[in-house]
């Protein structure tokens, strides 16, 4: 059995890397804070006798040998990067529960049949470099490595240069490594488990996601001297786009639409803004609904720009169709959840996860545990010691069940 308190203390130990006054974590990918937690993680795995390999996307793999080193490893893990105002659990729980699994096996002297590999994926959040799950996307062959390395943050720094800067561009070509299966534990980031008073979510699918970028161009104009009828105000246009995305997200069941990022230029109190950059995020478990939202968006923006004399059209920069996880991996999670005995249910993930990309190249499933009121991507994100420990225990059990198979 895992040591829940040790896991809890480890979570709080790493939360100091980028910890915020409000109890959250700001540890954007490939920043100095990310380097600190990576150095810590490497040392923690090596202390258990694991071999740590870094690939050329900065993904970290800590390998524990099994009785048979000729078979592909059973892998598990998640990510240690966070949102700009993120919590202590999103991603972190999956990696540190994986570490707790390795520590438990180490303490018990338990030898698995297959080797085990604990993974820390780079840039899962997609806050600093778009899209999310960039490095597991390259691992799965869904995103070209050159494209990924050339992605820039909002200040213009490239992913590749930042990887070099923090010293985490490894030698191994990303994707060369093979898994026999992959398990990812994560907080739910939604309210369903709490509402139904269940401890474990057996995740059988991840909804489809599309991301867009839109630059609206009008004309900078003096806020006092320019009559309303002569303006081409890009922010008035952007406001209508935000309203349209919200309306489109509500128009069909089980859909969501969000404008999360917006930059106004020149962003001066007495200038009617000539340019606005914004992003759109659409999701649904039903890919047809995602496509329908895209059509609605294109139509809405075309009308807005023509009404207001602006220029600009949304550019789709990411399309990840809905993912169905592997039946056998899901069954292993379900059996482990039932054995744990504190209630479980099958569910679809609203958030994207590295597991959704890994599912393209290895049998994969996920485990969810509740988080308070479903709040995530928020410094107030919170799960209990018991919930974290339950997730780690089910992860351990699912891995051992899959190993014994």
Ligand X SMILES: NC(=O)NCCC(=O)O
Site residues (CB under 8 A) for a copy of itself? 83-85, 125-127, 130, 132, 188-191, 207, 209, 211, 219-228, 230, 233, 235-236, 238-240, 242-243, 246, 249-250, 255-274, 279, 281, 283, 349-352, 374-379
User: What residues contact 56, with CB distance under 8 A and at least 6 apart?
Assistant: 145, 169, 170, 171, 172, 173, 174
With respect to ligand X, which residue has the nearer C-beta, 125 or 379? 125
For the bound state, the minimum distance from the C-beta of residue 13 to a copy of itself, rounded and expressed in Å, comes to 24
Told to check if 224 binds ligand X by CB under 6 A, we report: yes
For the bound state, the minimum distance from the C-beta of residue 225 to ligand X, rounded and expressed in Å, comes to 7
With respect to a copy of itself, which residue has the nearer C-beta, 43 or 380? 380
Told to check if 270 binds ligand X by CB under 6 A, we report: yes
Task: Give the closest residue to 97 by CA, choosing from 82, 115, 119, 81.
Answer: 119
Residues that bind ligand X (rule: CB under 6 A) add up to a total of: 12
With respect to ligand X, which residue has the nearer C-beta, 64 or 88? 88
Cβ atoms within 10 Å of 288's Cβ, excluding its own: 11
Exposure of 322 in the CB half-sphere (CA atoms within 13 A): 18
Q: Are strands 51-54 and 60-64 parallel, antiparallel or unpaired?
A: antiparallel
The residue range among 123-131, 237-245, 380-388, 391-399 that interacts with ligand X, by the rule CB under 6 A, is 123-131
With respect to a copy of itself, which residue has the nearer C-beta, 245 or 400? 245
From the list 2, 30, 37, 132, which residue makes contact with ligand X (rule: CB under 6 A)? 132
Per-residue x/- track, 60-99, ligand X (CB under 6 A): ------------------------------x---------
Told to check if 367 binds ligand X by CB under 6 A, we report: no
Task: Give the closest residue to 92 by CA, choosing from 27, 171, 140.
Answer: 27
With respect to a copy of itself, which residue has the nearer C-beta, 39 or 373? 373
CB of 279 closer than 8 Å to CB of 293: no
d(CA 152, CA 160): 9
What is the DSSP-derived secondary structure letter of residue 152? B
3-state secondary structure of 168: coil
3-state secondary structure string across 289-317: HHHHHHHHHHHHHHHHHHHHCCECCCEEE
Q: Which of residues 345-364 bind ligand X (CB under 6 A)?
A: 351-353
């Amino acid at each position: 059995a895992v040591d829940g308190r040790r896991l809890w203390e480890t979570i709080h130990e790493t939360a100091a890397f980028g910890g915020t006054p409000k109890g959250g974590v700001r540890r954007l990918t490939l920043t100095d804070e990310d380097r600190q937690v990576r150095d810590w993680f490497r040392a923690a795995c090596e202390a258990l006798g694991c071999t740590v390999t870094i690939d050329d996307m900065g993904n970290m793999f800590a390998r524990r040998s099994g009785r048979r080193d000729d078979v592909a490893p059973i892998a598990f893990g998640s990510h240690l990067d966070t949102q700009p105002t993120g919590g202590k659990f999103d991603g972190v729980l999956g990696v540190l529960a994986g570490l707790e699994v390795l520590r438990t096996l180490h303490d018990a002297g338990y030898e698995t049949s297959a080797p085990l590999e604990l993974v820390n994926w780079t840039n899962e959040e997609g806050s600093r470099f778009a899209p999310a799950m960039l490095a597991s996307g390259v691992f799965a062959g869904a995103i070209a490595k050159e494209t990924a390395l050339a992605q820039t943050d909002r200040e213009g720094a490239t992913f590749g240069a930042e990887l070099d800067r923090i010293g985490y561009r490894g030698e191994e070509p990303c994707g060369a490594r093979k898994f026999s299966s992959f398990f990812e534990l994560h907080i739910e980031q939604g309210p369903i488990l709490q509402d139904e008073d269940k401890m474990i979510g057996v995740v059988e699918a991840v909804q489809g996601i599309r991301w867009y970028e839109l630059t609206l161009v009008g004309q900078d104009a003096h806020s006092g001297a320019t009559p309303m009828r002569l303006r081409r105000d890009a922010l008035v246009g952007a406001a209508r786009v935000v309203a349209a995305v919200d309306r489109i997200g509500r128009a069909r069941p089980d859909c969501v639409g969000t404008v999360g990022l917006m930059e106004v230029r020149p962003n001066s109190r007495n200038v009617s803004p000539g340019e606005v950059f914004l992003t759109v995020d659409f999701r649904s478990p039903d890919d047809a609904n995602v496509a329908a939202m895209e059509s609605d968006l294109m139509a809405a923006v075309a009308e807005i720009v023509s009404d207001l004399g602006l220029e600009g059209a949304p550019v789709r920069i990411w399309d990840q169709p809905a993912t169905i996880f592997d039946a056998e991996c899901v069954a292993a999670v379900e059996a482990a959840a039932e054995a744990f005995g504190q209630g479980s249910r099958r569910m679809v993930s609203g958030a994207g996860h590295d597991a959704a990309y890994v599912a393209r190249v290895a049998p994969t499933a996920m485990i969810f545990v509740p988080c308070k009121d479903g709040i995530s991507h928020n410094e107030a994100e919170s799960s209990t010691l018991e919930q974290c420990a339950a997730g780690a225990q089910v992860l351990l059990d699912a891995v051992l069940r899959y190993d014994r198979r």
